[in-house]
């Protein structure tokens, strides 16, 4: 028998654009107050007859909010990436670069793989994430399902604050660690994030996974 339970997490207000969508206004920067509906699954319940302890999701919520809330989320292959970096350097926007791409579908994939690793570690493998639905508003949503997410995929994303950068590497299938400080890296086509700022920086935001293998 399988059991499921669901949790809705408010990701916050995020702005992004799908630059390849030249036929529509989605090519321009626009934003939504995003929510994520996460479905957890387990073959067995815990001692309290729960699939997942929702009270233990605070660290997961912090990581997701740190990625989306009041952020300008940019695709790693956006041809205007340098312009977005300039906006960040000027303190006009707090930029997050997702090399895998942006949009509800990619956000759902990111949340699924991040939450799945969190659940697996928090429950010693008992709980997994079955699916994630990202809602833009009442009419638009997209979802990712566990079977559709590649285990080999890895993403680097850059979180940029005013005059400061956090570079974090996330293993999408098994989020192993969140690095709080990295040297500036070069952005090449089809690869990770790149040369944002002049060197290693920190925005002084604490690592929400400190003390766990995620924060190693």
140-174 pLDDT, tens digit each: 899 999 886 654 443 444 333 323 334 333 334 33
DSSP annotation string for 116-179: HHHHHHHTTTSEEEEEEEEESSSS-EEEEEGGGS-TT-EEEEEEEETTEEEEEEEESSS-----
Domain count, the chain: 1
Q: What is the CATH number of the domain that holds 173?
A: 3.30.479.10
Give the tens place of pLDDT for each residue, 165-210.
343 333 343 333 332 333 333 333 333 333 343 333 333 334 444 5
List CB contacts of 118: < 8 A, sequence separation 6 or more: 57, 59, 60, 175, 214
List CB contacts of 43: < 8 A, sequence separation 6 or more: 1, 2, 3, 126
For residue 17, give its domain range. Answer: 3-215
């Amino acid at each position: 028998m399988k059991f499921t339970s669901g949790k809705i997490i408010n990701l916050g207000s995020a702005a992004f654009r799908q630059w390849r969508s030249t036929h529509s206004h989605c090519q321009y920067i626009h934003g939504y107050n995003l929510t994520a509906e996460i479905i957890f699954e387990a073959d067995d319940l815990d001692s309290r007859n729960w699939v997942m302890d929702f009270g233990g999701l605070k660290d997961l919520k912090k990581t997701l909010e740190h990625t989306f809330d009041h952020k300008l989320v940019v695709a790693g292959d956006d041809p205007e990436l340098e312009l977005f970096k300039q906006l960040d350097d000027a303190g006009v926007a707090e930029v997050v670069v997702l090399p895998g791409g942006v949009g509800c579908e990619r956000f759902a994939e990111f949340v699924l793989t991040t939450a799945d690793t969190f659940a697996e570690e928090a429950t010693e493998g008992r709980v997994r994430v079955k699916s994630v639905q990202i809602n833009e508003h009442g009419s638009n949503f997209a979802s990712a399902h566990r079977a559709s997410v590649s285990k080999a995929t890895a993403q680097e994303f850059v979180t940029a604050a005013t005059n400061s950068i956090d570079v974090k590497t996330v293993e999408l299938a098994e989020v192993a660690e969140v690095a709080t400080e990295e040297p500036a890296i070069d952005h090449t086509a089809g690869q990770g994030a790149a040369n944002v700022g002049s060197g290693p920086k920190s925005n002084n935001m604490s690592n929400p996974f400190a003390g766990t293998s995620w924060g190693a």
